[in-house]
Structure 1
Amino acid sequence: MKRAVLFDLDGVLVNSRHAQLATLAGFATSALGHRVTVADLPPEAATIPREQVLAELGYAGTINQDGWDAATATATLTAEVFPFVADTLATLRAAEVGTGLVTLRSRQRVGWLLPPATLGLIDVVVCYEDAAPKPAPDGLLLALDKLRVAPGDAVFVGDMESDMHAARAAGVTPIGSAWGFSAPTTLTRAGATVVLPHADDLGGTLLTLMGTEPREA
């Protein structure tokens, strides 16, 4: 495989915004000892570090991973893979374009969000425990090393400023997803080469951007 498309997970392949907010609210409820709802979270809660969100709610302690996992496992039941994902991955595979997932999620949590059929369409999965987290380029470079694709022959589709910075640092073309957590202007300022307004025919669009001919899936 001479070309590759790397993807972020949350907000790009999985509609998990509410799940992320529910995780924060659930953990805060347990840690603070009183009811915290999604409506009580700061407006930017989905795009800033969880420690900052919890501090604004009045919790300054260490995040207990067992408690966080419990809140996450329950909240992710509301997350759904976007409808376009299977067709997009199949289109890329038919064109012999490698695919990778680079996420801040742990491997266990990736399994909570993506069903086996979807994971089976992704060639390489790089999780939190595998490399330094974005905006460091390490995860992207590790994925490309496994795919045996040069950074200049790859794109990274993400929805956060850290995604764009990581792609730039890795020498990979950064592509913003406007259907994710961040505004298009935010992604452009962070260095996105292009921000896609929607995911219609995403596989074909990515192949066109890479100068690769689509093939019948």
Structure 2
Amino acid sequence: MTRAVLFDLDGVLIDSRAAQLATLAGFATTVLGRRVTVDDLPADAATTPRQHVLAELGVLRAINENIWDAATATATLTTEVFPFVAGVLVALRAADVATGIVTLRSRRRVNWLLPPNILGLIDTVVCYEDAAPKPAPDAVLLALDKLGVLPSEAVFVGDMESDMHAARAAGVTAVGAGWGFAGPAALTRAGAAVVLPHADDLATGLLLLVGTGQRDKHSKRS
């Protein structure tokens, strides 16, 4: 039976912290008509919903997505895929493990962030416009439905508390990416079954996790 590993995007597959902060600062600069730098952002800006960060800066109106897109397109020029990603995806595919991305990004922004060679190794991508956003389980379940994989045969690797909540609500093993935004302690508090402090030997760890899930299920049937 095919198994699956789902990934969050920002902070897990791509090193986008600087780009996210630059997007916030650029958007606020445009809307407020004054210079806003990354240093002007709240200390927790990278892990706080954008509307809350912008409100603290004085942006009280609804977010204009066209302006946000312009700020994003410029800021993401500095974003890079983590070096381990291609090798992990190749290893999972070789082991007949399906892969997916579940992200709060829109589809067009995903295409700005990931190069074609990485997108070509991903079996499905579920974006903000496709399902109710995390921490609801809808997007995780939609990705699994597209892959034809049961929740008990899947893991979801995320770096935010909302990722852990979504995985648990979907019945998927929640794996915390300690190298991402929230950090290991927050992910543990959010209910991660496993927290990986770094991405060393990530493919091996993920294969063990999906393999263990499969063996446990078979043992219950026997």
Question: What TM-score results when the alignment is normalised by the length of structure 2?
Answer: 0.94
The question of 1:171 aligning with 2:165 is answered no
The question of 1:27 aligning with 2:4 is answered no
Corresponding residue number in structure 1 for 2:156: 156
Which amino acid letter does the alignment assign opposite residue 112 of structure 1? W
- CA offset at residue 211 of structure 1? 2.3
Corresponding residue number in structure 1 for 2:205: 205
Corresponding residue number in structure 1 for 2:140: 140
Which amino acid letter does the alignment assign opposite residue 91 of structure 1? A
> Counterparts of 2:135 and 2:197 in 1: how far apart (Å)?
23
Q: Which has the higher helix share?
A: 2
2:48 aligned counterpart, secondary structure = coil
Q: Percent identity?
A: 75
- CA offset at residue 184 of structure 1? 0.7
**Superposed CA offset, 1:75-131 (max 9, x none):** 000100000000000000000001000000000000000001100000011011111
> Counterparts of 2:122 and 2:82 in 1: how far apart (Å)?
15
Structure 1 gap segments, 5+ residues each:
213-217
> Counterparts of 2:134 and 2:56 in 1: how far apart (Å)?
23
- CA offset at residue 208 of structure 1? 1.3
1:31-70 residue pairs with structure 2 within 5 A? 31-70=31-70
> Counterparts of 1:136 and 1:173 in 2: how far apart (Å)?
15
Which amino acid letter does the alignment assign opposite residue 209 of structure 1? L
1:168 aligned counterpart, secondary structure = helix
**Superposed CA offset, 1:109-167 (max 9, x none):** 00000001100000011011111100010111011011111001100000000000000
Corresponding residue number in structure 2 for 1:130: 130
Which amino acid letter does the alignment assign opposite residue 73 of structure 2? A
Corresponding residue number in structure 2 for 1:12: 12
Corresponding residue number in structure 1 for 2:3: 3
2:46 aligned counterpart, secondary structure = coil
> Counterparts of 1:164 and 1:146 in 2: how far apart (Å)?
21
Cα RMSD (Å): 0.8
> Counterparts of 2:165 and 2:180 in 1: how far apart (Å)?
16
- CA offset at residue 209 of structure 1? 1.9
Q: How many residues align?
A: 212
Which amino acid letter does the alignment assign opposite residue 179 of structure 1? W
Which amino acid letter does the alignment assign opposite residue 174 of structure 2? P
- CA offset at residue 69 of structure 1? 0.3
Question: What TM-score results when the alignment is normalised by the length of structure 1?
Answer: 0.96
Structure 2 gap segments, 5+ residues each:
213-222
